[in-house]
Structure 1
């Protein structure tokens, strides 16, 4: 048990909890002079594309600005879903029925692709399918979640259970939420172990992986070759593929104006008694809620800790300052965790698009797949794979996410620096507070 004097445990670190088991990798060997395909970004998307390209004999090189695995892929909550985010996240608003059906179909395919890849390649990823609980932040959200659950079941065939507040203890013992829905077809994995497994798969297939090589400029194709300037020298490539997601910058050309890197924070508790873990999360499910500035929580894959994430305030904070705020948010939901300390607090950037839909495609001679919108583990793995098949000319059909309509962020003077995020975040926090007060909570 912790003392009341503070929430940071001895040895507290701002490295992700996931890195304890699978840290990022340094690969500072020289860059090749030329490659067939240069993949920019060593996240799930880039590694998935590289593994598939290399499997078919393509000379492919992956470069990253930092260590391989230092970005958002190993900083996520490790939650795995299919089409739920498109419905519950509101992405399908304004999308016609035909495309909505194709988006949901491809989203389901992304989930099946991930499970098949992990199974067939025997990837060490700690994947477990235990379901997800979407909790109502205020009573009136319960009916909205029920309707969204009905829509999901209709369009995707997933199994959805309605959980009124009177039965909520079957899922989690808290008085904070007001019932919700459980979706069985939902999982979680260890994001850093999965990333390490993808690195090894790509390298085993023949891909070259290089760290600390930020791309500074991509030149136009001359005689069929792009000259790419990196922080470690120049490399020529027949094709360039960006999978930089929330870490896209000006070097990515048009992409950095179409995606916003929104920083999300997480904490890990110290090891908890098994009886307390069972009380907080009876079935080891993933848990999120219906507020605007949502929270997400899950047990660690070994079942010893609770991992809790959200944005702790309007402004970007150092992780050491964010940790007590996240702890305070966590114990509002689960007061029984008040006596336990935080061992890790970390953050990462989520790639958000204006229409809340991921996009893949080609523009100005550059291929890309970005915009996970908080749903990246399965989807970005799948879009990297689909992008590789497209480059190889092996797609059975084009992906629903491959659409020339890719809106810019509708914010004046947006140049890739999200100056407006504190305003949006503050508005979300205010709306959540008003909703609680209006409900008399």
Structure 2
């Protein structure tokens, strides 16, 4: 869910950027939880190369966006930016802020990353097509350009649970199916009606759609029928029996939402869970680091992929990883070679392993067979959700089957009326989502 930065083109702007010292670099990040790990890596980088890297964090996302905007206007950007992958990085490339590094990232570098994210930051055919409209935030990019390399990876649809609160309700292991998940929710809310429910940042309406409904629908229907929900055929879209069925399954969560969850954004929903105001929290692999930052011990968290319906088409559905954040060289950096050397250093297995421990986050680097021992049991449990085949893996980055003008926020608004707002029935919601999807197809013509 990329932060989009709207800036005027920076090409040929001149001026200084980053550090003027050839043995010094500046890097900015929007993730406070990454600072300690980055600074530890910078200390090792200096020992190895003699180059100092100064790390600064600016958050939350809106503040980071403002900081980058202001620095771009005054030509005072750092050498390296951590960005949202395959969205914000391409916007920075389109505006001339990010350097095209396609010629510099060879197979010796890209092969260090997990297979699913090795080309992240690249203008693919699909990304180029999205850039063509004059009002596109990435208008002006060219096929094959690359504006970032992956830094962290992960996925959405990861459920966090408070082990102590679950134990009080007699629950000691993750639910294996959607039905068991609902039964466990019922047990925790019965034990603690006020704090036993599930939190999710539903103020951001698309979270319910993309983090829960879509992986649930994929598991229930299988890949082909799931994709058909977003197609033109009325016999297979959300108004069809298949669509009504999966919406009915999603609506089963209604009794178990944490009170007021529809008013919480993603961070405040996670904070509520860390504060014991909910027994369950739906997020992503990135959530654990934020919980730790807010005082929760990762060892007190049970983490697992959103479970699939027992009798669904894909009962062992996996969740596909995608690049979440990337590293970008600013086009005005006076030391781009050193900046790239730093970025490649971070991709090394030993360095990435240490960062994973320091940041409680999943690096994009392929860590091999020792992943569990490197990253700890809670993260290792989350990564079990990645195990699957192409046919059994829900890929959150695949939008090829949706209409070109599809807008997930608008679709999420319709879904929110079903739950948590409880203002529309399943049938009404199915009709509304089908109608909206049809309008996207009509507009795409």
> Fold match, TM over 0.5?
no
Instruction: Point out the structure with the larger strand share.
Output: 1
Instruction: Point out the structure with the larger helix share.
Output: 2
TM-score (norm 2): 0.27
